[in-house]
Amino acid sequence: MFGKLFKKTDYKKLLNEDGAVIIDVRSPQEFASGSVPGSENIPLGSIPGKTKKIKSLGVPVICVCASGMRSGGAKAQLAAVGVDAYNGGAWTKMLKHVD
């Protein structure tokens, strides 16, 4: 039971082998101050209006923000409509997974 609960996500594999995209759900101002290279900025409040577009990509989506709170909300919204979504947490931590 706990093995699945605390399973580590292999973000490098998701990005390099599975073609995942990174969506940064912070505000445009926060995004402009620094971001994961290649990530797309879609603020959390805009996610509901973009779910069809995001789902149509057909790849896993890794959501990031400043701390993991907003990205957790975005992950839940996307997963609810069938997107293979992950909460990547803080964008600064995701930098180590990007080549």
CATH topology of domain 9-34+56-99: Oxidized Rhodanese; domain 1 (3.40.250)
Pair of tokens at residue 19: 């073609």
**pTM (two decimals):** 0.92
Boundaries of every domain in the chain: 9-34+56-99
DSSP 68: S
pLDDT tens string, the chain, 99 residues long: the values are 455 566 789 999 999 999 999 999 999 999 999 999 999 999 999 999 999 999 999 999 999 999 999 999 999 999 999 999 999 999 999 999 997
Q: What whole-number distance in Å separates Cα of residue 60 and Cα of residue 57?
A: 8
Write down the pLDDT at residue 8. Answer: 86
Write down the pLDDT at residue 1. Answer: 47
Q: What whole-number distance in Å separates Cα of residue 67 and Cα of residue 91?
A: 8
DSSP 98: -
DSSP 46: G
The β-bridge relationship of strands 40-41 and 85-90 is unpaired
